[in-house]
Chain A
Amino acid sequence: MLTLEHISKTFKDTKQSVEAVKDVSLSVAEGEIFGIIGVSGAGKSTLVRCINLLERPESGRVMLGDVELSALPEKALRAQRRKIGMIFQHFNLMASRTVMDNVLLPLKDLPTSKVDAIAKAKALLALVGLSDKEQAYPSQLSGGQKQRVAIARALANDPVLLLCDEATSALDPQTTLSILALLKELNQKLKLSIVIITHEMAVVKEICQRVAIMEDGRVLEMGDVFDIFSQPREAVTREFIDTTSPLKKIHRLIAQDSPVVRLQPGQQILKLKFGRKSASQALISEVSRQFNVDMNIIFGDIEIIQDAPLGGLVVIMGGDKEHMLSAIAWLSGQDVNVEVIKSA
């Protein structure tokens, strides 16, 4: 539905030029939630602005359906922009207008009658759960409520695509989850495609189907969220994954010589990372029964991503040395990545 082909964007001023986006190609399918993740300065905000051409890339094509947005003259582009909603980190609501008037704003240039427009705005506010705030001003709302108004406003023109530029970055974790749940609901109800720009892996994990990892203006890797999470190829990707996984905490515990990681002779600390098919099996009890080893779970991190469990456990394994070796070999055969962290 949306296709970006070889997009490059350089910012020039008198002193220097910065290549913000370098030869990025990607496509978003109809009804898909696509994440673009990267640290700040990676070029993701510029990239998303190249989609609705708030920034004009100097090379490359932007296709929305079979319309080449990047080839349109100004006026035709403005009409096409109505098909693309956008929400922002700082909401960008008009402080001088009520919630109702903010949602009505994008409907002003349309032939829609005032009555129809108001009915539509009311329906949208109901959809985002803010029917009781129609006459409030943005300054009277919380961050989450402001973002809901912004979402209602972005939907006013019945867009086929919604761009979210760090839309949850200014919100607390609880509110973030509720906004993400709303986006997911809209995605399903309205068959709305969504592009999400974020620096938080938790956001991608929560709702994206596919993800692109950006660094320094380039897309380093791109694919199914589950695959990227379970088999990250790039160091940056691993860093992002680590930010949301508590599994790396084990190294800190060992460094601090915490009592929970002190080993008896013959014991080993293992980090088990589950692949796509492994986490639904009764692995731990299976291993202890079959190989006669003790498995003591220190902590775990198993999440459901795209309806499949993903994550891992940190365990202390104890028992006969031979048995432990064959247990590890067996686990590896079950799509489990086994890493021996410490042995005594």
Chain B
Amino acid sequence: MLEFFAGIAPNFVKKLPEFFASIGQTLYMMAFSGLVSFFIGLALGVILIVCRPGGIRPNKWLFTFLDRLINIFRSVPFIILLTALIPLTRLIAGTAIGTNGAIVPLIFGTVPFFSRQVETALAQVDGGLIEAAQAMGMSPAAIIWRVLLKESIPGIVRGTMITFVSLVGLTAMAGAVGGGGLGDFAIRYGHQRNQVDITWATVVVLLLLVSAIQALGRWIVKRTTH
């Protein structure tokens, strides 16, 4: 088996330990920044929907502030965010380089995108349901929890999957701050040393990763849609 791979992908086989390490780094960056971004993004998405004009607790000032802030962060290219955030990263994570140094910018890159995904999912909830809940005497907190979030689980799951897939792309850029990971691995060997077999191997792994994320998402959506 190994001989077969050694035949078609000689460079790749030599770099196997480093390859597995970079898979680990990618998964670590995705899991850590993904989890944190999920909760922050969910909270921001809920605040946007609750505070928007006509929402259950309209707050023009807060809505406009968050709306603009998200737009600003979304319009900054990630590679610039990565370097621009270095002082802040050092403050939060203690370091601005390495895998841990990549986490903070990854969160800043992901949260705005994911909060928009959540906002879109929550906006799909029929206003009539909110009205019915209010007529029942439900408190705003109960409406958020039992109606808004509960009814939009499939939509939120879809948004989460799209976000994770785009997170795969963001982690590839983490190499710029020495974050490692598959993208960095492919650039350093596959591109810079022209070892094409390494690029291909990386693409295959990323493809599997994306497919796995999507399959999981579809499964949850199917389970939660009635």
Stretch at the interface among A82-90, A115-123, A218-226, A320-328: A82-90
**How would residues 104 to 143 of chain A score, 1 for a CB under 8 Å from any chain B CB and 0 otherwise?**
0110110000000000000000000000000001110000
**A109 and B142 contact, CB distance less than 8 A:** yes
Q: Which residues of B contact A85 (CB under 8 A)?
A: 135
Stretch at the interface among B42-50, B72-80, B123-131: B123-131
**A94 and B129 contact, CB distance less than 8 A:** yes
Asked if B211 is at the interface (CB within 8 A of a chain A CB), the reply is no
Distance to closest chain B CB from A2 (angstroms): 15
Q: Which residues of B contact A97 (CB under 8 A)?
A: 150
**B128 and A82 contact, CB distance less than 8 A:** no
- Please give me the residue from chain B that is nearest to A107 by CB atom: B136
Bound together, the chains give a CA A139 to CA B151 distance in angstroms of 13
Asked if B147 is at the interface (CB within 8 A of a chain A CB), the reply is yes
Distance to closest chain A CB from B127 (angstroms): 9
Q: Which residues of A contact B226 (CB under 8 A)?
A: 95-96, 137-139
- The secondary-structure label for the interface of chain B is helix
Q: Which residues of A contact B194 (CB under 8 A)?
A: none
Interface residues on B, range: 20 to 34
**B147 and A94 contact, CB distance less than 8 A:** yes
Q: Which residues of A contact B146 (CB under 8 A)?
A: 105, 108
Distance to closest chain B CB from A215 (angstroms): 25
Distance to closest chain A CB from B186 (angstroms): 41
**B147 and A109 contact, CB distance less than 8 A:** no
Within 8 A of A (CB), among B112-159: 126, 128-129, 131-139, 142, 146-147, 150-151, 153
Asked whether A92 and B126 contact (CB < 8 A) given A81-B137, A84-B135, the answer is yes
Q: Which residues of B contact A108 (CB under 8 A)?
A: 142, 146
Bound together, the chains give a CA A214 to CA B128 distance in angstroms of 23
Interface centre among B131, B137, B151 (most CB of A within 10 A): B137
Interface centre among A85, A109, A137 (most CB of B within 10 A): A109
Asked if B71 is at the interface (CB within 8 A of a chain A CB), the reply is no
Asked whether A88 and B131 contact (CB < 8 A) given A95-B226, A96-B151, A109-B142, the answer is yes
**B137 and A78 contact, CB distance less than 8 A:** yes
**A157 and B131 contact, CB distance less than 8 A:** no
Within 8 A of A (CB), among B16-66: none
What is the interface size of chain A, counting residues whose CB is below 8 A from a CB of the partner? 28
- Please give me the residue from chain B that is nearest to A88 by CB atom: B128
Q: Which residues of B contact A80 (CB under 8 A)?
A: 137
Asked if B83 is at the interface (CB within 8 A of a chain A CB), the reply is no
**How would residues 62 to 90 of chain A score, 1 for a CB under 8 Å from any chain B CB and 0 otherwise?**
00000000000000001111101110101
Bound together, the chains give a CA A328 to CA B135 distance in angstroms of 55
Distance to closest chain B CB from A84 (angstroms): 7
Bound together, the chains give a CA A95 to CA B194 distance in angstroms of 54
**How would residues 237 to 276 of chain A score, 1 for a CB under 8 Å from any chain B CB and 0 otherwise?**
0000000000000000000000000000000000000000
Asked if A52 is at the interface (CB within 8 A of a chain B CB), the reply is yes
**B135 and A52 contact, CB distance less than 8 A:** yes
Bound together, the chains give a CA A86 to CA B128 distance in angstroms of 11
**B137 and A92 contact, CB distance less than 8 A:** no
**B128 and A96 contact, CB distance less than 8 A:** no
Q: Which residues of A contact B129 (CB under 8 A)?
A: 92, 94
**A94 and B136 contact, CB distance less than 8 A:** no
Q: Which residues of B contact A82 (CB under 8 A)?
A: 136-137
Asked whether A86 and B153 contact (CB < 8 A) given A81-B137, A157-B137, the answer is no
**How would residues 49 to 69 of chain A score, 1 for a CB under 8 Å from any chain B CB and 0 otherwise?**
000101000000000000000
Q: Which residues of A contact B135 (CB under 8 A)?
A: 52, 54, 81, 84-86, 163
Q: Which residues of A contact B151 (CB under 8 A)?
A: 94-96
Bound together, the chains give a CA A105 to CA B136 distance in angstroms of 9
- Please give me the residue from chain A that is nearest to B149 by CB atom: A96
Asked if B166 is at the interface (CB within 8 A of a chain A CB), the reply is no
| Interface residues, chain A, with chain B CB atoms under 8 Å away | 52, 54, 78-82, 84-86, 88, 90, 92, 94-97, 105-106, 108-109, 137-139, 150, 153, 157, 163
- Identify 12 new A-B residue pairs, CB closer than 8 A, beyond the known A80-B137, A105-B133: A78-B139, A92-B129, A92-B131, A96-B151, A96-B153, A105-B136, A108-B142, A109-B137, A109-B139, A137-B226, A139-B226, A157-B136
18 chain-A/chain-B pairs, Cβ below 8 angstroms: A52-B135, A54-B134, A54-B135, A79-B137, A81-B136, A90-B128, A94-B129, A94-B147, A94-B150, A96-B151, A96-B226, A105-B133, A105-B136, A106-B136, A109-B137, A109-B138, A109-B139, A157-B136
Across chains A and B, which 6 residue pairs bring their CB atoms closest together, nearest first? Answer: A137-B226, A81-B137, A92-B132, A86-B135, A92-B128, A78-B137
